[in-house]
Amino acid sequence: MKFLVASLTATATGHGVIYEPPSRQSGGLKILMPACPGGSCLWFNQGTSIGCPDATGGGDVFPDKPVCKNPAEPTIAWGEKELRTYALNPLYRLEDYTKHHPWRYPGSAGLAGGDPCGIAGGWYTKGAAGNGGEAPPGAPQGEPGSTSDIFPKLIEKTVWVAGTTVEVAWGITANHGGGYQYRLCPANQKITEDCFQSHPLDFAEDVTYVQYGHGLDVNNRTTIPAVTVTGDKVVPAGSTWRKNPIPPCDIPVSGGALKTGCPGPTFKSALPGGPGDAYGFGGGSCQGEGVHCTPAQFQKQNFDFGLVDKVKIPANLPEGEYVVGFRWESEQTPQVWSSCSDVTIKQSGPATKPFAPTTGCTFCCAAKAPCGNCTECTDTKEGACGYCWEPLKGYAPGIPPIACLGHEDSAGKAIDWQPGDDDQTPWSPGCSSCWKDGMCEENFRDFESTVV
């Protein structure tokens, strides 16, 4: 098994994120939608095992090494293959290396500092090889997702109505298997894991929709059956979690990471097609340390679809502002991927149209946003303005380097970059048009997307 350990020593980056409603970690950017808008898939907790109260920033993929002395026993047993996603081949029974990884007892793995919106780069310092820990462009390493004023609530407002069914969606950059849950926390409370566990959302249907067209085309969906896990197998008990329906590659331990090829899926896919459609590791296979893909190779590996579910909004919820929490339990790795969105819940009236476009202006307008201090720099690169014309610090997972200014179109808007395009030329988020059009002014702060 030595070769398997070696295959995971490179740093794998870029993983998964909620994109409907749009995550606050995206800054409203659409580049690399749906897998990792603006680098938002790089908020997670590294080094966490079932039953362990805290994340550690470390942890091992293989062999099984829980991060605390007294981990919980898995509630999803090795033999329950209909609920599992990795290490399914009986040949590896003696190497149940996912035994204490988060998906084996959904919701029981502790988080670093209790932050349920993720940590930029997964830990407070850059991760060691194999631990995938780099912050995205414009975010300091270790920035807490729930309290960040660098990536705050988006300008665009999402409105839901209590007592209705709404659509939520997430995208995958690196397919770590496992499964996921959506939750709520009132925004006037401290955003904690306990708060989210008090308000888990129930799925409204027994299906998931695989939505194509960069995850946004509501007229281009494939319906597949969903596998739900509940009862005493999960935390909180009786809540509903859903298995990730996209199989990784049937390669022991790596799952197809690091461009190792993809001979087939780990379990039968509900979708037709081959790698990059029905199954695979995703664009993350091109993002390991020392691994380079051409733009065409990245386009082939990248998942152009999102996973859409319908969830029930309780009828008795008081009107107000809420945070939507997305938590994805990895089975391949000792990691929890979490991100947050913001919604206004009303008792009546119109709701926001799902997958309505965002402007990306939050990335430019918020006072401490990555480009928020560049408003006076559109005509100069002198002094402190030099920062605004240079690529932002941080890891760009499959996207071009991001510079606040200098690479917009003639109208000052963001250029439409898609996987397969040149990934070396810097890209700018269109801040010039945001400022010119007044999108940063106070009277635009309640901007609402199209409602239905």
Q: What is the pLDDT of residue 345?
A: 98
Average pLDDT, the chain: 90
Percent of the chain with pLDDT over 90: 76
Q: What kind and span of H or E run contains 44? A: strand 43-46
Q: What is the per-residue pLDDT across 15-24, written as a single tens digit (0 to 9) for each?
A: 899 999 999 9
Strand partners, 402: 427
Nearest to 370 by CA among 436, 418, 428, 445: 428
pLDDT higher than 50, residue 243: yes
Alpha helices in 181-231 (DSSP H): 193-197
Give the chain's length. 452
Q: Contact 125/47 with Cβ under 8 angstroms?
A: no
Strand ranges inside 253-346, DSSP E: 306-312, 320-329, 335-346
State yes or no: pLDDT of 7 exceeds 50: no
Residue of 96, 87, 98, 394 lying closest to 255 (CA atoms): 87
Tokens coding 442: 């106070």
Residue with tokens 């793995």: 109
Q: What angle do CA 46, 403, 395 make, to 5 degrees?
A: 20
The tokens describing 397, both together, are 């997972």
Taking the C-alpha atoms of residue 325 and residue 432, their distance in angstroms, rounded to an integer, is: 31
Residues 6+ apart with CB under 8 A from 117: 24, 25, 43, 144, 145, 146, 148, 191, 323, 325, 338, 339, 340
Beta carbons of 162 and 347 less than 8 angstroms apart:
yes
Q: Which residues contact 383 (CB under 8 A, 6 or more apart)?
A: none
- The mean per-residue pLDDT over the stretch 7-18 comes to 61
Burial class of residue 440, CB neighbours in 10 A (0-12, 13-18, 19+): buried
Helices (H) and strands (E) in the chain, counts: 6, 13
DSSP string, 393-423: SS--SSSPPBBSSS---TTSPPP---BTB-S
Backbone phi and psi for residue 185, each to the nearest 5 degrees, phi listed first: -145, 130
Question: Cis omega before residue 63 (within 30°)?
Answer: yes
CA–CA distance, 229 with 240 (Å, rounded to integer): 6
Q: Is the peptide bond before 116 cis (omega within 30 degrees of 0)?
A: no
117-131 core/surface letters (b: 16 or more CB in 10 A; e: else): bbbbbbbbebbbebb
The stretches of 123-252 forming alpha helices (DSSP H) are 193-197
Q: What percentage of the chain exceeds 70 in pLDDT?
A: 91
Residue 100, pLDDT > 50, answer: yes
Tokens of 136: 């995205």
Q: Is 184 helix (H, G, I), strand (E, B) or coil?
A: strand
Check whether 13 has a pLDDT greater than 90: no
Q: What is the average pLDDT across 343-361?
A: 96
Question: Each residue of 160-211: pLDDT tens digit?
Answer: 999 999 999 999 999 999 999 999 999 999 999 999 999 999 999 999 999 9
Under the banding of pLDDT at 50, 70 and 90, the label for residue 95 is confident
Q: What is the pLDDT of residues 156-171, one digit of tens each?
A: 999 999 999 999 999 9
Given a contact cutoff of 8 angstroms between Cβ atoms, the answer to whether 107 and 183 are in contact is: no
Cβ partners under 8 Å of residue 30, min gap 6: 37, 38, 214, 357, 358, 360, 414
Q: Whole-model pTM?
A: 0.94
Identify the pLDDT of residue 87: 85
Helices (H), 173-285: 193-197
Residue 139 pLDDT exceeds 90: yes
